[in-house]
Amino acid sequence: MKLTGAQILIKTLKAEGVDTIFGYPGGSVLDIYDELYRSDINHILVRHEQGAAHAADGYARTSGKVGVCLVTSGPGATNTVTGIATAYADSIPMVILTGQVPTPFIGSDAFQEADIMGITRPCTKHNFLVRKIEDLSKTIREAFSIARSGRPGPVLVDLPKDVIQAQLEEDKTIAAKPKSEDGGKSPDREALKQALEMIVKSKKPVILTGGGIILGNASEDLQKFVKKVKVPVASTLMGIGGFPGTDPLWLGMTGMHGTYYANMAISNCDLLITLGTRFSDRITGKIANFASKANLIQIDIDAASINKNVLVDIPIESDCKTALVHLNKLLDENGFAIPGEEREKWIDQLGQWKAHAPLSYCNSEKIKPQCVIETLYNLTEGEAIITTEVGQNQMWAAQFYHFDHPNTFLSPGGLGTMGYGLPAAIGAQIAFPEKTVVDIAGDGSIQMNIQELATAVNYKLPVKIVILYNGYLGMLRKWQELFYGKRYSHSYIRNSPDFVKLAEAYGALGLRATRPEEIEPTLKKGLESPLPAVMDFHVEPEENVFPMVKPGTPLVETIINSEELR
């Protein structure tokens, strides 16, 4: 018997264990959709292909599986690009299947032809154009393998219509999994030993975690390690959730909007151990002063990320989990003594910095965005999956919701993509139907993919959207306030829709709160609803995120609050 390309595709996806696809149909993928009609794969129809890509991303970040999306050629494919670039920046495993015009038409400017291979080459880990049906199954297998192995990332497979319609004898069709999936490279034992010696000897050590701690599934091993060596932990935005936010050794986020004490810790430590971070400019502040008193140990799965932005003393090429398992084992085998008194002094010092400038805000007659998030944290007992948009909303979410578990904080850290949060929440909710999933949004960002409310309503996904409505593109307004003489050039967003009515128009629950005492009842009502709920909080319009490090200045110059700027 013969199988069509479409049948081979679906069979291979099933063999890969794919149970959910986020997609949107079009002419060049009609054959695949016809096959899906007969398949038990769960296809989620979004309302915009960017939404499909972000939803697949949210699905991947929460479940740890490869997220899959399927779109048509031309505009369908180009609409996914922002979602792909977002996943690429954050190393999220995804496979994007795009329709393509038939192979004889490629290059002829055919209807709905786009060179999606060329367009996505710099924002995918790899991409494939399948030219013959014989290569189809094998290519799909490889795509999944590449997406999840090593430093993960999105992989695009371009599927010309004639390949999808062609036929092939069944016995030749479904390829086996590629043999070698490069897992973690075995870390250099000598380097690990050396690292451990430094850690044990260090008087003022700090651990800095990045997204690699979560992608590498290393959270438990990190906790074991920290228990033994008693080193405080700071994190990048992407590493949040990798170490419990309620642990006494947790310093919080570091960098541009990091806590004062995390930034002081990094600036004053004598040893910095980094796990799965690439030292982005948002983290280091002025790079010459970054951890300038410290020896650096960098553990990263990607050799190209080591010594890229910051030169380190001990580079260790390894995934975080393998490295930590080895370190824990070495500690158990060899025994060790940490310099008790010195270490206590350091932890004491950190406590003093924390007491000097804890994360805080002042209540007023208007709703404070931070208070909304704190209340949300309390009501959900810290157990919700939180997605964010971009802007101040994102930073407040990172600061005031205390994440105890990995894969529960989904934020487009690398690319900073407004419009990420809602579709990502949909993907997360599909992966975890029983969990509370909340998109913390700004009034600007939410309008970038608001159409996905229809998707949530359609699939009865009870995602919650908390809009911190300040009437501004707040993050930009803040920069204009502080650095551009309060010239609010195009950051005031007039005439946003009535979000309550909008929610209702979509068939979701719409709620609004304008006074502090309404925060809790509004959140309660929204969280309890079986429907998707939009909660519109009219917050203090000119509330600013602090602490903050001005670009180009060192972390020690962290500005704690607006008073300091006057």
Partner 1 sequence: MGEKDRTLTLLVDNKPDVLARIAGTFSGRGFNIENISANITLNPDITKIIIVTTGDRATVTKIRNQIKKIVDVRNVSYLKTKKSVQREMILAKINFTEDNREKILAAIEEMECRVVNQEADAFIVEATGKKDEIDRILLHFQSLGMEDFTRSGKIAL
Ligand X SMILES: Cc1ncc(C[n+]2csc(CCOP(=O)(O)OP(=O)(O)O)c2C)c(N)n1
The residues carrying an active-site annotation are: 49, 111-112, 161, 475
* The pair of three-digit structure tokens given for residue 26, joined into one six-digit string: 């079009």
β-pairing verdict for 167-169 and 2-4 = antiparallel
- Among 76, 99, 150, 442, the residue binding Mg ion under the rule CB under 5 A is 442
299 lines the binding site for partner 1 (CB under 8 A)? no
- Among 89, 146, 357, 549, the residue binding partner 1 under the rule CB under 8 A is 146
Site string for ligand X, 383-422 (x = CB under 6 A): ------xxxxx----------------------xxx----
- Among 133, 456, 475, 513, the residue binding ligand X under the rule CB under 6 A is 475
470 lines the binding site for Mg ion (CB under 5 A)? yes
Nearer to ligand X by C-beta: 443 or 540?
443
51 lines the binding site for ligand X (CB under 6 A)? no
Q: Which does 475 bind (CB under 5 to 8 A by kind): ligand X, partner 1, Mg ion, none?
A: ligand X
* Residues 8, 9, 15, 20, CA torsion sign: negative
Q: Which residues pair with 300 in a beta bridge?
A: 317
* The pair of three-digit structure tokens given for residue 160, joined into one six-digit string: 């010309």
474 lines the binding site for Mg ion (CB under 5 A)? yes
Q: Which of 389, 284, 361 is nearest to 545 (CA)?
A: 361
Nearer to ligand X by C-beta: 229 or 418?
418
148 lines the binding site for partner 1 (CB under 8 A)? no
303 lines the binding site for partner 1 (CB under 8 A)? yes
Cβ(463)–Cβ(425) below 8 Å: yes
Nearer to ligand X by C-beta: 405 or 550?
550
| DSSP symbol at 484 | S
Cα atoms found within 13 Å of the Cα of residue 352, Cβ hemisphere only? 6
419 lines the binding site for Mg ion (CB under 5 A)? no
90 lines the binding site for ligand X (CB under 6 A)? no
Stretch that binds partner 1, among 72-80, 267-275, 296-304, 477-485 (CB under 8 A): 296-304
Give min distance, CB of 442 to Mg ion, in A: 4
SS3 content of the chain, % helix, strand, coil (to 5): 45, 15, 40
108 lines the binding site for partner 1 (CB under 8 A)? no
CA pair distance 365, 374, nearest whole angstrom: 17
Nearer to ligand X by C-beta: 53 or 175?
53
Q: Which residues have a Cβ under 8 Å from the Cβ of 346 and sit 6 or more positions away?
A: 203, 204, 205, 232
* Residues 128 to 147 in contact with ligand X, rule: CB under 6 A: none
The DSSP element (H or E) to which 253 belongs, if any, is strand 250-253
The DSSP element (H or E) to which 387 belongs, if any, is strand 385-388
Nearer to partner 1 by C-beta: 121 or 501?
121
- Among 2, 121, 172, 189, the residue binding partner 1 under the rule CB under 8 A is 121
Give min distance, CB of 423 to ligand X, in A: 13
510 lines the binding site for ligand X (CB under 6 A)? no
Q: Which residues have a Cβ under 8 Å from the Cβ of 537 and sit 6 or more positions away?
A: 367, 369, 372, 466, 467, 468, 469, 512, 513, 519, 522
The DSSP element (H or E) to which 274 belongs, if any, is strand 271-275
Dihedral, 184, 189, 190, 196 alpha carbons, nearest 10:
90
* Residues 19 to 78 in contact with partner 1, rule: CB under 8 A: none
Site of interaction with ligand X (CB under 6 A) = 389-393, 416-418, 442-445, 468, 470, 472-476
Point out which residues bind Mg ion (CB under 5 A). Answer: 442-444, 470, 472, 474
Residues at the site binding partner 1, with contacts judged by CB under 8 A = 117-118, 121-122, 125-126, 146, 302-304, 306-308
